[in-house]
Chains A and B, each alone.
Chain A
């Protein structure tokens, strides 16, 4: 029950958004977020509420650094 899933916002109506993951759409409430939410944002949805907005820059950065550091031929 503690699961939180990153989902992409596809529409918004007041405090309620429709978010999607793997082709499944769900309504979620965004009252707990301070940030402005726009269509296309990724939110972590837990029990019908967005609890965090995913920072795409950090996500890309994390992956880029991981690949950079762990891609040398001699690693494996």
Chain B
């Protein structure tokens, strides 16, 4: 047993503990207190959690998180479709590929701004197009039933590009001999895609799934730029609501914010658990 590996690990472990692990447990602890972040904290047990149960704003945020998680996954098939479409050799394909990848290079803030202008009720491009076809104008971001979907659509734009690039590299690794063999056996079109190509893209799909889930849970910046949680709180997600309750201009409820953070952490834990399990599985299989 030598100490060298431990010494090499030490800085990483230290930072990870100070900035990630210990704060997680601190959040658990703070969520049991009523604390304004300034004065004395009072222990209230699980009161913050029982308040969450009856809090309609929390319920809306939770449902919005679910919408984000489900709809954001659309980026995976959309990215695959574009990747398949671009995976051919025609003149200038590199240019087309980079054009499709372009939105991922933009900052989320820019994407949010561009889309909020696109959605503007009077001058926006969307309503100009709708008006051209004689449809009435809609105010996507001002309508509580539409606003969340409007923001998700904005988020899908760069996320699709991300999935596309993952699949493009994945397609390079598809074994041409297997394609050839399948073709000889009479597979084509849908069957070829489903039974031959997609199974070989499994690693790319796994990564695309991971980054999309993470992307869906990191929707904070788009929401903050496009609607600021409004109209009247209808586009909040848990992370935004937590920020509002604990850290924003009017937020002085550290305990309540921490309780929201704990719930968000639990949701993430489901996915993290799944990722860890499937990675472990993969390693075990390849170990044989």
Q: Check if A and B associate.
A: no
Q: Which A positions have Cβ atoms within 8 angstroms of B? A: none
